[in-house]
Amino acid sequence: MSFEVRFDAGSLEQARSGAIWGGVWVELSGVAFPESGWNDMPVAFVVEFLDAVQDVRAASGRRRTVRFFDGPYWVDLTNRDGESIELSVNAAVPGGTAVASAEELLRSLNAVGDALLEACRAHGWGDQPDFRRLQALRA
């Protein structure tokens, strides 16, 4: 697949507010966006992304935008034909658009979500609200 969500488990930390911060970014054809190691809220971002993919795949032509929580960056998702989703970023990057099957995209996001849940459990963050939302989406 030419689109992946990435995160850096070693960079995860919990702010005093309870939010989980760390490196999270997307790769389109191997190009990182916004940049490799982008510091943001990876659990909340993956929750929003999973929710958007599940919504978009429900009907041809349906669209959603998933925003990074830090910075003016986002990914647009469009259901092209009922089976594939077009993903594009809001910046001029080489290969800034990709198409993936909805099922393949969900499998990839679920794997990232599972890895994030495992990393958060290891830190003892199981009561954090974004963790619980991600856990519910994975149930």
pLDDT tens readout for residues 70-116: 999 999 999 999 889 999 999 877 768 899 999 999 999 999 999 99
Q: Residue 139: what pLDDT? A: 67
- Helix H, strand E, coil C: the string for the chain is CCEEEEEEEEEEEECCCCCEEEEEEEEECCEEECCCCCEECHHHHHHHHHHHHHHHCCCCCCEEEEECCCCCCEEEEEECCCCEEEEEECCCCCCCEEEEEHHHHHHHHHHHHHHHHHHHHHHCCCCCHHHHHHHHHHC
- Please check whether residue 25 is in contact with residue 34, taking contact to mean a CB–CB distance below 8 angstroms: yes
Tens-place pLDDT, residues 48-62:
999 999 999 999 999
- How do strand 20-28 and strand 3-14 relate by DSSP bridges? antiparallel
pLDDT in tens, 11-65: 999 999 999 999 999 998 888 999 999 999 999 999 999 999 999 999 999 999 9
CA–CA separation, 89 and 97 (whole Å): 7
**Which pLDDT does position 5 carry in this prediction?**
96
In this predicted structure, what is the pLDDT of residue 82?
84
Residue 119 CB coordination number (10 Å): 19
| Mean pLDDT on 108-131 | 97
pTM equals 0.94
pLDDT score of 80: 94
The per-residue pLDDT for 16 is 96
